[in-house]
Structure 1
Amino acid sequence: MSDASGAEPGQVATRRLHAGRIIALDADTVRFPDGSTGEMDVVRHPGASAVLPFLSDPAGEDPQVLLIRQYRYAAGGYLWEIPAGRLDAGEDPAACAARELREETGCTAERVERLTSILTAPGFTDEVIHLFMAVGLTMGEHAREADEFLTVEPMPLSRALAMIETGEIRDGKTICALLYAAGFRAGR
């Protein structure tokens, strides 16, 4: 939707403030829908994939899922999560999900199915996380990175959903994947 002058909203200019190992920070000059302009700080992220591993048939009575309990410095301690990681340049999101599943849990999947994609915090970042579920798991050896401190915990889907309700699971991508799978994929 353009403004009265016919100009489309969007970026007018950008200036890189920081480039780090995981993110970059840009100061963008933005044209808003009403034609005005302003400065916005935007965290640039290459995107990520996350995967909800099912240890049993997702259509079963109360399927078993595999969660990880991982130390997250920025969150101030341990969080319950699903395996996830940053996309490599040009990497297919489903391939990233399968890679992260193998690296963090040691599991390989017979099938990785797309659930949905989410914007993590669109007020300040362009990060998109692609959510998947994995079925037909085979256990193997993990290949965690040096800064990954986690344990792998199997549990019934019902317990994971109860942990969302009680606030034990607070990670956004994990909540979305569990609720999406429970609402649209599991038990059907």
Structure 2
Amino acid sequence: MKQVVVRNRQTVFKAGVFKLETEEITLENGVDTHVHILRHPGAAAIVPMLDAGTVVLIRQYRHAMGGFVWEVPAGTLDGADADPLACAQRELVEETGYRGGHFENLGVIAPSPGYSDERIHIFLASGLTLERQNLDKDEVLHVHAKPFDEAMKMAGNGEIVDAKTIAALFFAKRRLSGR
């Protein structure tokens, strides 16, 4: 099988952690085309379990969505914590005030593979102890403990719309049910 050949790559725009690139490529079928890729360093998302039946969710203001969105805690990989586990541990405390005693890697998702290389590493956190929340100055969020079954219903009925949260809850349900 032939490989895709990248003939040219150019950075079009940079902002924060994002970089927009355009590439001229030759596909394995010989067709030449242009693609635009939103480069992202990746992220870690955490499903924090207070006990076997209670999950910690956040309701965070997301300006792009025009209001508050239900989510699991998450954060962007960067510099000192490019390791997904280190990022997950840091973000859990920052956003919820809980420190996880045990983290289990549940998998990785690609939320928008048609135009972005972002990968989100999903962790299940247990053995939580409450410390002190330490939000970034531009974060507005509220922490909620919910029965896990209720969170799954929220994901199924459209109350939770965040894709990483829906995937993370699905991964956690599969793990918690022993499958």
How does the TM-score come out when normalised to structure 2? 0.95
> Is 1:117 matched with 2:108?
yes
Return the match for 2:76 from 86, 100, 103: 86
Instruction: Calculate the aligned-residue CA RMSD, in Å.
Output: 1.1
Distance 1:124 1:116 in 2: 21
> Is 1:41 matched with 2:36?
yes
Partner of 1:76: 66
Partner of 2:94: 103
Write the deviation string for residues 137-159 of structure 1: whole angstroms up to 9, x where unpaired: 00011111111100000011100
Partner of 1:26: 21
Task: Give the aligned residue type for 1:167.
Answer: G
Distance 1:88 1:162 in 2: 33
In the TM superposition, structure 1's runs of 4+ consecutive aligned residues that sit over 3 Å from their partners are none
Partner of 1:162: 153
How does the TM-score come out when normalised to structure 1? 0.91
Return the match for 2:8 from 2, 5, 13: 13
Distance 1:105 1:10 in 2: 44
Partner of 2:56: 66
Shift in Å, 1:187 = 3.6
Shift in Å, 1:102 = 0.7
Shift in Å, 1:54 = 0.1
Shift in Å, 1:180 = 1.1
Q: Percent identity of the aligned residues? A: 41
In our comparison, the structure showing a higher alpha carbon Rg is: 1
Q: Secondary structure at the match of 2:127?
A: strand
Identify unmatched segments of 5+ residues in structure 1.
Answer: 3-7, 58-62
Task: Give the aligned residue type for 1:152.
Answer: V
Write the deviation string for residues 69-107 of structure 1: whole angstroms up to 9, x where unpaired: 001011121110000010013621011111100110111
Distance 1:115 1:149 in 2: 27
Aligned residues: 177
> Is 1:50 matched with 2:25?
no
Q: Secondary structure at the match of 2:50?
A: coil
Write the deviation string for residues 99-145 of structure 1: whole angstroms up to 9, x where unpaired: 10011011111101100100011110000000001000000111111
Distance 2:38 2:98 in 1: 32
